[in-house]
Chains A and B, each alone.
Chain A
């Protein structure tokens, strides 16, 4: 680890000044081994957690707020399948979801009225017991990985130096310019591409420091065994039924992050981006001319 870190900082040092940025693209070291390792462990763990979690949700496709919630209590979300139709109800709004939620065809062509369809769950056929087997194993992988990564990233100053926004970046004008650049798909080039931009910092910070920890903590607080020795946790989320609701909502937030993340990787050049997350090496494109606003500098299509 120490040797690798040393190597990385040397490599990073070579990109320090603009004199290294020639007109041609060149390769820099972008991601530490800890980041790359955690990233790919999470790809596996996150998808197994989401898909086995959707199967667990299928066992009781209703969500409540408060300490408790069962069939006779008021649910704020329900996915139901009755009379050959599927419905999703959120609050008092109901939409028909036939074909996707509450009424869908399994791989044998049979109609199934469970909430989430077989292609989205682990296992694909209804089994709460099997889903829990997967979920409660990979929960350890996700939680230990997150904890180790948080510690490592504080220790090697990844969080302080690369994720924490600078006061300059938090200025409205800077934020607005970055939002406009993203909207026009003008990605950073040259020296600016060697570090995270403010929208990246904010989304990675949100995922790393808020969404994933909340996911782990709401998960833990649904455990009656843990509630006995850490009852404050479930109270923090407003009760077990609320913790379950928050667990579900934050899962969608993380899926949303994943979608935007993958779209951004594809738009920014998938081969270079994926390579940088495997080998750590990232090709920097030369700085685009500052004044010219010609569109050919941005990624087409």
Chain B
């Protein structure tokens, strides 16, 4: 302060900070659009995925008490698939609906809703975390995915499990995928009941995936087909899920 008129210096400094703030913001948007920068920033996702798998292993998601269940489990995304095929299944109470399990398996499965209900069931009260920031607790019932995968006998090349859904988002068919760690996780189930009642349409009837250590968009609703695959980059947009392809959401959504 001794050398420069303080007021002048301060005003100039504040103006400089303001101008560089505006410049920085415009810069950020440009940087945000750069593919190089985006792939650099996605190292954060890779690091989270590796760290969670390394430290987390097969750890179980917290299960809650029946008294902690959300009064109303908020549906999000599609609440009523529009396809004629789905509408026909819905009208007939999913009597002719079959869940196909195929791809890199030794045995293709076609399971009716009754067949799914007659498998050993797991019931779990878990917290559902949406990528948007809200959470809801619900009780889910269904067979473990591992049970189906063992029945179908995955081939050694299988690395990912893909879920094809009946709903669409902006004309894109919904699909999701998970790695085998999550696929064989004890809490990964194909839920057909929510809070003790048959799964409502808005929450994904007849069955939806529960993959409890990841965010909501990974929990594919209205599942029609399950495929074991060696890679994801040759499927739809190549990023392993509808939201991943469409908006660049992270494939690993454990954070």
A56 to chain B, nearest CB (A): 7
- Tell me which residues across on chain B come within 8 A of A71, comparing CB atoms: 74, 134
A25: contacting residue among B2, B56, B243, CB under 8 A? B2
Residue from A48, A70, A132, A270 having most chain B Cβ neighbours under 10 A: A70
Give the distance in Å from the alpha carbon of A225 to the alpha carbon of B51 in the complex.
10
Chain B: interface size category: 35 or more
Report B's interface with A, CB cutoff 8 A.
Answer: 1-2, 4, 6-7, 9-10, 13-14, 22, 25, 28-29, 32, 38, 40-45, 47-48, 52, 55-57, 59-62, 64, 68, 70-72, 74, 127, 129-137, 212-215, 243, 247-250, 254-255
Q: Which residue of A lies closest to B10 (CB)?
A: A266
Give chain B residues whose Cβ lies under 8 Å from the Cβ of A240: 127, 129, 135
| A137 lies within 8 A of chain B by Cβ | yes
A300 neighbours in B (Cβ, 8 Å): 6
Neighbouring A residues of B28 by C-beta, 8 Å: 48, 51, 122-124
Decide if A93 is an interface residue (CB 8 Å cutoff). Answer: no
Q: How far is the CB of A244 from chain B (nearest CB, A)?
A: 6
Q: Is the interface of A mostly helix, strand, loop or mixed?
A: helix
A70–B127 CB distance below 8 A: no
What's the nearest-Cβ distance from chain A to residue B74, in Å? Answer: 4
User: What is the CA–CA distance of A266 and B127 in the complex, to the nearest angstrom?
Assistant: 47
Interface range, A side = 35 or more
Contact with B along A122-142 (1 / 0, CB 8 A): 111101111011101111100
Provide a sorted-by-A list of 5 A–B residue pairs whose CB atoms are within 8 angstroms.
A70-B130, A130-B248, A136-B255, A231-B62, A240-B127
A-B contact count (CB 8 A): 158
Residues of A within 8 A of B135 (CB): 67-70, 240-241
Q: Interface on A for B, CB 8 Å cutoff?
A: 25, 48, 51, 56-57, 59-60, 62, 67-73, 119, 122-125, 127-130, 132-134, 136-140, 222-229, 231, 234, 240-241, 244, 266, 269-272, 285, 299-301
B132 contacts across to A, CB distance below 8 A? 59-60, 128
- Residues of chain A within 8 A (CB-CB) of B32 are 122-123, 130, 134
Give A241's nearest chain B residue, CB to CB. Answer: B135
- Bound together, the chains give a CA A134 to CA B41 distance in angstroms of 6
Residues of A within 8 A of B129 (CB): 222, 224, 240
Determine how close the nearest CB of chain A comes to the CB of B152; give it in whole angstroms.
Answer: 26
Please, which residues of chain A bring their CB within 8 A of the CB of B14? 266
Q: Assess whether B214 is in contact with A229, with CB atoms less than 8 Å apart.
A: no
Instruction: Tell me which of B44, B70, B74, B212 contacts A137 (CB under 8 A).
Output: B44
Query: Of the candidates A122, A134, A138, A227, which one forms a contact with B62 in the assembled complex, judged by CB atoms under 8 Å apart?
Result: A227
Supplied contacts A59-B132, A70-B136, A266-B13, 4 more A-B pairs, CB within 8 Å: A62-B134, A70-B135, A133-B44, A224-B61
Pick the contact of B42: A128, A133, A228 (CB < 8 A): A133
Q: A72-B72, A222-B129, A228-B212 are in contact. Are A123 and B44 (CB under 8 A)?
A: no
State the Cβ distance, A33 to closest chain B Cβ, in Å: 25
On whether A68 and B137 interact (CB within 8 A), knowing A60-B130, A226-B52, the answer reads yes
A191 CA / B28 CA spacing, docked (Å): 43
